[in-house]
Chains A and B, each alone.
Chain A
Amino acid sequence: MKNDENTRKKELVCGNPRIWKDPPGAMMYCSGCQHPVIHRIISEVLEEMDIYEEAICILGVGCHAFIQVSWSIDTLSCAHGRALDSATAIKRLNPDAIVFTVQGDGDCLAIGAGAFIGAMTRGERITTIMYNNTNYGTTGGQLAPTTLIGQKTTTTPLGRNPKLEGYPVRAAELAADFEGTVYSARGSVNSPANYKRAKKYIKKAFQKQIDGLGYSFVEVLSACPPNWHLSPVDCIKRIEEEIIPEFPLSEIKG
């Protein structure tokens, strides 16, 4: 972290983070989508911690990846599920860089499960922000590892049946189980208070990387109105009433 007090604000009081492009690429998202809110938190954190000049973001495949047109830090868009492999190599080759992945729940936990487990097994000194909207948004709302029991998706039209499709994966708890993981938390952006908490979690996760301690992971719940077939306001309600009880918000490790 740099100490250039005169030229950089430590805390964003108002306005957009400077790495946030104007006009933001958020117009690529459906109305009520919370992905851009999480993007903004990451941008604020990078700026407030003064690490955006060293930051390299590695993206998975999914709606989250549209961040690449919304901010102005170095960014790599990867093959589906492979962000943590690519991030591993970048951090090993360039240990001074702040290397983090932004991934969806399908990208990280289904197709990318091998890369996820591999990075945690090795205790890579990188950070993952995983967006959990309990389905595959981009492709039209299919079953994801995080889909709730009974939740209707385009590939579980009768609702997720544990006998057929198994149970939701709690990624933050899974991550915490690895010795190589030094920080794991789950946040949400359904209220201003939770927004602040999620931001605190993401800040802590980056700090663990700066301290060179190991792998840090933050899962953030996110609304997906068109695929949940709910209005943005009802999405917030669903997060409070149905999702948070299944995916409790807390710091699980660290």
Chain B
Amino acid sequence: MLVVKNLTKSFNSAGGEVHALKDVNMTINTGEFASIIGKSGSGKSTLLSMLGALDVPTSGSIQVDDIDIAKLSAAKQTAYRAKKIGFVFQHYNLIPNLTALENVMLALEFGGMPASKRKARAQELLTEVGLDEDEQLRKPTRLSGGQQQRVSIARALANKPAIVLADEPTGNLDSETGKKIFDLLHSLTRSENVTIIAVTHDMDIAGKTDRTFRLKDGQIVIEK
């Protein structure tokens, strides 16, 4: 279970203090698929980075299975990201110098899997997301956007995370491919009982999730 209480985040920028998140409260149950919608600049990515321990909140708490991740040391936060969180980004963010297989193996390395087991596990994951053997050995530049996003989903799921955080995972894909990727995420997480929190602009997609949060100026205005 994920419980967010009184979460605020402010940035000091040249034009003064920016309140990206203001007193956000939310609860998401384990295995739920939640979507976050809202206009550009409403604080969606900021919220996701707090949940993923990529940044620390200004105040408030984020309880993941009774551990407040906002209060963890930097080293513990890194370990939390490696083991408990899977990220899927709008721009895929695969390591360009590594093949699809090596990208997944990299996440497995950070997750602490012994080197001897990584390759088989990575192949299994990539096959699951629909990449054939030849594609698995290609570097990201030689894969389509949809294929790259599949690799990044395989990478996100590599260490059997508790939560998958996706920031506009279909934002760079055409609607048909986007739908396929969404369905893939949906089915994979259903079978593994993973909590998914996805930021999206696509109202079709948002409509199919278990929960939807709408952010406006750093505050949750509608919760479905």
State yes or no: do A and B come from one complex: no
A residues near B, CB below 8 A?
none
B residues near A, CB below 8 A?
none
